[in-house]
Amino acid sequence: MLSPKELSEILKAKRMKITPQRLEVYRAFTGPEEHPTATEIYEKVRQQMPTLSFATIYQSLGFFCRLHLLQTIDVGDGVMRYDVEPRPHPHFRCEQCGKVFNLDFAYHKHLDQDVAKKTGFTIRCHQTYFLGTCRECQK
């Protein structure tokens, strides 16, 4: 996850406008293990900026996704979530508590290259997720 200073530097380098709203939306992500929905981000940001609209949240999230600073993820629950770790990596969603976890396994690092090589397809991106019960819910 980028610091506010790093984020500002990237936006400046890309000649993108740095607004307090954009910075606050990005700041709403507390770490790479969090996978909030747009509504959750909206509720968090509204605590700091009560007049901010939901449309501004969506526009800011889309802006960061287009710059590859965020990615959207689908973990099979019908809800679009946002991930502050833009590199491809698998996720696990607990079917009991709904929490989403990052998984980082070596086999996954070259999966798109392996698929492209075996099929001749051009792979732009991929998403992998696993469903089950997390350790905490198994207790």
125 annotated to bind ligand: no
**Residue listed under structure tokens 């790479």:** 32
Spatial distance between the Cα atoms of 27 and 69, rounded to a whole number of angstroms: 12
Q: Is 134 marked as binding a ligand?
A: yes
**Within 13 Å, how many C-alpha atoms sit on residue 113's CB side?**
4
26/87 Cα distance (integer angstroms): 17
137 annotated among ligand-binding-site residues? yes
DSSP 91: E
Distance CA 17, CA 1 (A): 20
Binding residues for Fe cation: 126
Binding residues: 94, 97, 126, 134, 137
Binding residues for Zn(2+): 94, 97, 134, 137
